[in-house]
Each structure stands twice: as C-alpha cells, then as structure tokens.
Amino acid sequence: MTTRSLAAAGGDMKGVRRFAPLRKDGDIGVAEVAEVEGIRTLKGIIFDMDGTLWFGQMRNALGIDKSIDILDHIYSLPVSDQEAAHEKIRTIEREAMLTQVPQPGLQTLFTYLATLTPPLPLAILTRNHPPPVHHLLTTHLPQTPFSPIITREFRPPKPHPAGILHIAKEWNVNPADTIMVGDSIDDMKAGFAAGAATVLLGNSVNGQLWEHECTDLVVRRLDELVGILEKGFVGRVER
C-alpha cells in the first residue's frame, strides 16, 4: 500500500506532490508546514465513477478486446453504427444502476469532507452516461454538492486531461492543487497529464497500476483518504 504523510516524508521527498494537512491535528502542525518548500494547498478533489466490472460487460457486448478503448472503438465506427453501440452501453449501465452499492468507506469519506470549512470543491469526471451517475449520487450521496459533473458526452474523454483542466478552470484553481481519484489507468494518466495529484482506488484487477509512473498513492478503501488528507498528502511520483 502506497500511503505517506508529510511527517513521514522527511527531507527526501523533493519533487513529489505534497499538500498541507486539512486538519491541525495532523502529524505536522500548520506552522511547520509553512516552513517546508513545495507544500501546496489542496483546492479540490475530482472523483471517477467508472466500474471495472461494468467495463468488462461493455467489452463483451461490443465484441472488443480489453486492449481497445471502448469510446475510441465506438467513435471509430461508421456514424450509422455509433448509436447502436452507445445503446448497448446504456443498457448495461441501466441494469448495473439497479444493483449499485457504494464503495467501502464512501460514506465515511464524504461525511468528513462535509465538515471542512471552507467547503472543499468536489467534482465527478466519468466515462459513464448521466443516468447511472445521477442515480448513484441521489441514492448514496444526496447531500454532496458535486460541481461540475462531467459524463461521457464530454469530449475528449479520459485519458485526455481535458476534463480535469475544464474542472480546474470552472473552480478557478491550478490543476496542480487538485487530486484525481479513480480506479483505472485512464484516471491516472488523465490526472498526471493535467498536473493533478493522483490516487488509485486499488482492487484485485488493477495491481499493475499500484507502482505506475502516473500513480501518486494507492488506497484500498475510500475512507483511507481521511487520514491522508488530515496528515498531509505526500505523493510518490517525481514531477
């Protein structure tokens, strides 16, 4: 597991992404942090919502290999065939929507984020269609003010950094002051290319990404982010 705090970083972390603790009870006090070069202030977190199991179903429905990007495949089809391919994906998403369950630690993380003053901007950047996204949010996080919410209609999609850059512009912040949280190579590449810090939600199928050059930190549960944010985020990737 790749998780580190400012207190554990010492003086050998030059060049990696670091954020000041969001709480004064972290391992390093606010005054100490101010004296350390390269410490940024976190200005927002961007969350992915794509599901690994859903994408397996999607690839089977379209008859494509796992090495082929789903959206690239759809947009490479003749225009007359694209809508049918999109409808196959929408059907899978509608079915999956009915059985969605929150990731472990989701409620704990967002309960914590809701206590921050001033509020920390939160956004969604997903390759899913809008209906399953809004269903999950209204079912599990009805009080969380995500803005903006960027779905599949946004072009170009991840792994292009355009979505993250768009969100940062909406927030009027530097992308380097944000974190991208996701579970895929697209999330890590998009975040890294945009200049954001990256957090991988590790699972049984993305182990090859844990030490990837675009992955700053790895967590197995979303609520592990609470301790990381409180103590001060320290990434792994030299920038």
Q: Given the structure tokens 């992955």, which residue do they identify? A: 215
Evaluate whether residue 1 is within a structural domain.
Answer: no
136/210 same-domain check = yes
Whether the per-residue pLDDT at 65 is higher than 80: the answer is no
Q: Is the dihedral of CA 214, 218, 223, 225 positive or negative?
A: negative
The pLDDT of residue 69 is 66
Query: Is the link from the previous residue into 159 a cis peptide, with omega within 30 of 0?
Result: yes
Please tell me which residue, 173 or 15, carries the higher pLDDT value.
173
81/196 same-domain check = no
Evaluate whether residue 185 is within a structural domain.
Answer: yes
33/108 same-domain check = yes
45/57 same-domain check = no
131/63 same-domain check = no
**Domain termination site, one of 79, 97, 115:** 97
Q: Nearest 5 degrees, angle CA 40-CA 42-CA 44?
A: 150
Q: Looking at the whole model, is its pTM more than 0.85?
A: no
Say how far apart CA 129 and CA 149 lie, in whole Å: 11
Mapped to the 3 state alphabet, what secondary structure does 29-59 carry? CHHHHHCCCCEECCCEEEECCCCHHHHHHHH
Using one digit for the tens of pLDDT, what is the confidence trace for 157-180? 899 999 999 999 999 999 999 999
> How sure is the predictor about 12, in pLDDT bands with cuts at 50, 70 and 90?
very low
Whether the per-residue pLDDT at 187 is higher than 60: the answer is yes
The pLDDT of 82-98, averaged and rounded, is 80
22/110 same-domain check = yes
224/114 same-domain check = yes
Whether the per-residue pLDDT at 95 is higher than 80: the answer is no
Strands 122-125 and 44-47: parallel
Say how far apart CA 166 and CA 65 lie, in whole Å: 30
The pLDDT of residue 68 is 62
Evaluate whether residue 125 is within a structural domain.
Answer: yes
106/92 same-domain check = no
Using one digit for the tens of pLDDT, what is the confidence trace for 194-214? 999 999 999 887 889 999 999
Evaluate whether residue 87 is within a structural domain.
Answer: yes
Q: Provide, rounded to the nearest whole percent, the portion of the chain with pLDDT above 70.
A: 79
Number of independent structural domains in the chain: 2
- Residue 83 belongs to domain spanning: 53-97
Q: What is the mean pLDDT of the chain?
A: 82
Evaluate whether residue 186 is within a structural domain.
Answer: yes
The residues annotated with a catalytic role in the active site are 48, 50
89/174 same-domain check = no
**Domain termination site, one of 64, 79, 97:** 97
CATH number of the domain where residue 201 is located: 3.40.50.1000
197/128 same-domain check = yes
Evaluate whether residue 106 is within a structural domain.
Answer: yes
C-beta neighbour count of 127 within 10 angstroms? 24
Coil, helix or strand at residue 112: helix
Q: Nearest 5 degrees, angle CA 7-CA 12-CA 13?
A: 70
186/92 same-domain check = no
The pLDDT of residue 145 is 95
212/117 same-domain check = yes
The pLDDT of residue 139 is 82
Evaluate whether residue 112 is within a structural domain.
Answer: yes
Evaluate whether residue 180 is within a structural domain.
Answer: yes
Please return the burial class of 90, using the count of CB atoms within 10 Å of its CB with bins 0-12, 13-18 and 19+: middle
